[in-house]
Structure formats: structure tokens, C-alpha cells
Amino acid sequence: MVKRHIEGVLWAFSIGSLVVAAYTSSRPLLLILGSISVASILIALPLHFYRAWKKWALVTNRREYAVWVGLETVAIAALISLGIYTVISK
């Protein structure tokens, strides 16, 4: 039962830390909140895709499910690549 909620808690930490960071100007607090957000995203994303691809064998509409999860995977990879490019190019 706990395994199902870990991903949701990680997403809540990630989004919550970004919301709190928007209301503060303290640099040490921003560093802590940014670290929490990045760490939780780095754990939640692979966990999400691992569970999604693992579920593929159990669904009845495998082709549609594979296309959807594949598009999710490509979109997240493109978004991460764009973020890395944006940081590196400045």
C-alpha cells in the first residue's frame, strides 16, 4: 500500500517546494528548496516510467498504452534536454 503513495508524496514535495520557493527570497532557503525539488523529481520520474512500462503487460489495449507511455517518455526527455540546454547556454 505504501509503495503506491511514494510517487505521489515525491510529486507533492517537488511542487510544494517550488511553491514555497516562489514566496521566499532567502538564498539558503532557496538552495534547500531547489535541492528538495530536484531530488524528488529525479526519483519520481524514473519511478513513474518504470511503473508505467511494467503495467504494459497487464493492460488490454497494449498498442495504445505503449504509444501513450512512449509519447510521455519522449516528451519528458525533450523537456529535460531543453532545460539542460537552457542552463548550459547561459
Structural domain tally of the chain? 1
Pairwise CA distance, residues 21 & 89, whole Å:
24
Structural domain containing residue 65 = 2-89
Segment 18-46, tens digit of pLDDT: 888 888 888 888 888 888 888 888 888 88
Determine contact, residues 19/30, Cβ cutoff 8 Å: no
**Residue 2 confidence class, pLDDT cut points 50, 70, 90:** low
Residues, the chain: 90
Q: In the chain, count of helices (H) and strands (E)?
A: 3, 0
Phi, psi at 25, each rounded to 5°: -125, 5
Q: What is the reported pLDDT for 74?
A: 92
Average pLDDT on 7-21 reads: 85
C-alpha cell at 67: 504509444
In sequence order, the 6+-apart residues with CB closer than 8 A to the CB of 80 are: none
